[in-house]
Chain A
């Protein structure tokens, strides 16, 4: 299931798709949230993504952040707490 999420997100970020259009690989409901958290200078960070319905998701460890993509700065803990829920993280299986 992790790789379903991974490919879904890869396609979304490459084509700048809104999360509302994405279908959750877990519960099949429409509506995924994703937002980069990173360094605005280097444009490198990580990417949490979660389903608004079932609250499951993944976190891409290291990602280059496209220009104009929505992002939160690393140190902005208030925004991270406010925007990113404590979703159930899906891990890849060996």
Chain B
């Protein structure tokens, strides 16, 4: 407690620093981006990708590491799953978030794809969205 009677802590995260994981550990230690929802939300805010009202789940099954799989949008568009390889670096995380956010919009508008060609069209749209957001990120932050 500070002499003026006010708490010397600024926020709840400072009081409980263990809740604020900044680095991955164990089998995940080579993944550069922290695998926490807080970090993911911060990245979304920094880059301007709106995930309000959309649940994000981090699927941390070690067997997915090295698969190259990064993300998945549920067919109702209410949940986006991030796989381990989305966390290999900042660019992969932003690209995945951008890609899946576009899928959310697509399935909300049109429902889940009904055939392989629809699925391909969705994927093509999401691929383009990645480019816009990563360009924005590079322009604003210089890619750092």
On A, residues with C-beta under 8 Å from B are: 3, 6-7, 9-11, 13-14, 37, 39, 44-48, 59-66, 74-75, 77, 80-81, 84-87, 89, 91-92, 94
- Interface of chain B residues 55 through 90 with chain A (CB within 8 A): 61, 63-64, 66-75, 79, 81, 85
A-B contact pairs, 28 of them (CB 8 A): A6-B64, A7-B61, A9-B67, A9-B69, A10-B64, A10-B67, A13-B67, A37-B123, A44-B95, A45-B123, A48-B116, A59-B119, A60-B69, A61-B99, A61-B100, A62-B69, A62-B70, A63-B68, A74-B120, A74-B124, A75-B124, A77-B120, A81-B116, A86-B115, A86-B116, A91-B112, A92-B72, A92-B81
Complex partner residue of B117 from A9, A44, A66, A77, CB under 8 angstroms: A77
Q: Judging by beta carbons under 8 Å apart, are B64 and A64 in contact?
A: no
CB distance from A67 to the nearest CB of B (A): 11
B interface residues, tally (CB under 8 Å): 32
With A6-B69, A77-B117, A91-B75 known as contacts, the answer to whether A62 contacts B124 (CB < 8 A) is no
Complex partner residue of A48 from B66, B75, B119, B124, CB under 8 angstroms: B119
By a CB distance below 8 angstroms, the chain A residues around B95 are 44, 62
Q: Judging by beta carbons under 8 Å apart, are B117 and A80 in contact?
A: yes
Q: Judging by beta carbons under 8 Å apart, are A64 and B85 in contact?
A: yes
CA distance A9 to B85 in the complex (A): 14
Extra A-B contacts (17), CB below 8 Å, given A63-B70, A86-B116: A9-B69, A10-B67, A39-B127, A46-B119, A48-B116, A59-B119, A61-B71, A61-B73, A62-B70, A63-B67, A63-B69, A64-B85, A65-B68, A75-B124, A77-B117, A84-B116, A91-B74
Q: Judging by beta carbons under 8 Å apart, are B126 and A62 in contact?
A: yes
Q: Judging by beta carbons under 8 Å apart, are B116 and A80 in contact?
A: yes
- Interface of chain B residues 89 through 138 with chain A (CB within 8 A): 95-96, 99-100, 103, 112-113, 115-117, 119-120, 123-124, 126-127
Closest chain B residue, CB of each to CB of A81: B117
Closest chain A residue, CB of each to CB of B79: A94
Residue from the set B71, B123, B126 with the largest chain A CB neighbour count within 10 Å = B123
CB distance from A32 to the nearest CB of B (A): 15
CA distance A7 to B85 in the complex (A): 14
Q: Judging by beta carbons under 8 Å apart, are B127 and A44 in contact?
A: yes
